[in-house]
Amino acid sequence: MVERILKANDAVARSNRSRFDAAGVLVVNFIGSPGAGKTAVLEQTVKGLRGRVALACIEGDPYTTRDAERIAALDCPVVQINTQGGCHLDASLVSQALDQLDLAAADLLLIENVGNLLCPSQYDLGEHLTVVVLSVTEGADKPEKYPAAFQRAQAVIINKVDALALTDVDLDAVTAAIRRFNPQAAIFPLSARTGEGVEPWLLWLEDRVKAVR
């Protein structure tokens, strides 16, 4: 049953990817726990790449439109997907959202998945890159406990480094834990709240956008 659902999802994901490629848009799927700071990372990315890259966002959330409102406030095109309590986005939900976006006008589409470190990692949305957002306050044991998300990531953002002083968490230990499950991923320690460390992430992402243009 689960396998049949995943197979059907993969077919729609392939069709999404064809649409993205035809439009020349790079698509990034952001996965992370509730409160890891995914929306704050998207806000910093939209602000930081404004004028350099044409952006659009899709916001996944169980019920609210809060995150989409935060992105819309930055004058970035955004579509809200509400899963009605569902624990992950899937390729069909993204496909429907695409109908409300001008893909041809965008260079980069950021998709914020539902806050969940488990279920979203099973579903291909048709994205080119998966980025995991992990906050230091979650602890260094998360990659070992939730390996699937980390294994499929091309980049891991270690967010909330400004809060390190108030935790028992060691940044080197977090980095080593990620490396154990994914030696290749780019790792960006940063604070989406203070802006510290955001620039290397923006440069990395901009390079990837240029590669598909």
Is the Cβ of residue 77 or residue 86 nearer to a second copy in the bound state? 86
Q: By CB under 8 A, tell whether 3 contacts a second copy.
A: no
Q: For residue 32, give the DSSP letter.
A: -
Handedness of CA 82, 9, 147, 133 (dihedral sign): negative
The least CB distance from residue 23 to a second copy, in Å, is 30
Cα separation, 51 vs 54, in Å, equals 7
Pairwise CA distance, residues 171 & 193, whole Å: 17
Q: From 19-27, 49-57, 79-87, 92-100, give the range in contact with a second copy by CB under 8 A.
A: 79-87
Four-residue CA torsion sign, 57, 60, 64, 70: negative
Binding of a second copy by 165 (CB under 8 A): yes
With vertex at residue 167, the alpha carbon angle to CA 162 and CA 173, rounded to the nearest 5 degrees, is 90
Shortest Å distance, C-beta 196 to a second copy:
13
193 belongs to the binding site for a second copy (CB under 8 A): yes
Site string for a second copy, 117-156 (x = CB under 8 A): xxx---------------x-xxx-xx-xxxxx--------
Among 64, 96, 195, 213, binds a second copy (CB under 8 A): 64
Only one of the segments 17-25, 42-50, 109-117, 205-213 lies at the binding site for a second copy (rule: CB under 8 A); that segment is 109-117
For residue 53, give the DSSP letter: S
Residue 53 tokens, joined: 């890259």
CB of 65 to a second copy, least distance (A): 10
Closest CA to 30 of 115, 126, 141: 115
Q: Per this entry, what is the length of the chain?
A: 213
Please give the residue ranges that form the binding site for a second copy (CB under 8 A).
1, 33-35, 61-64, 66, 85-87, 114-119, 135, 137-139, 141-142, 144-148, 160, 162-163, 165-168, 193
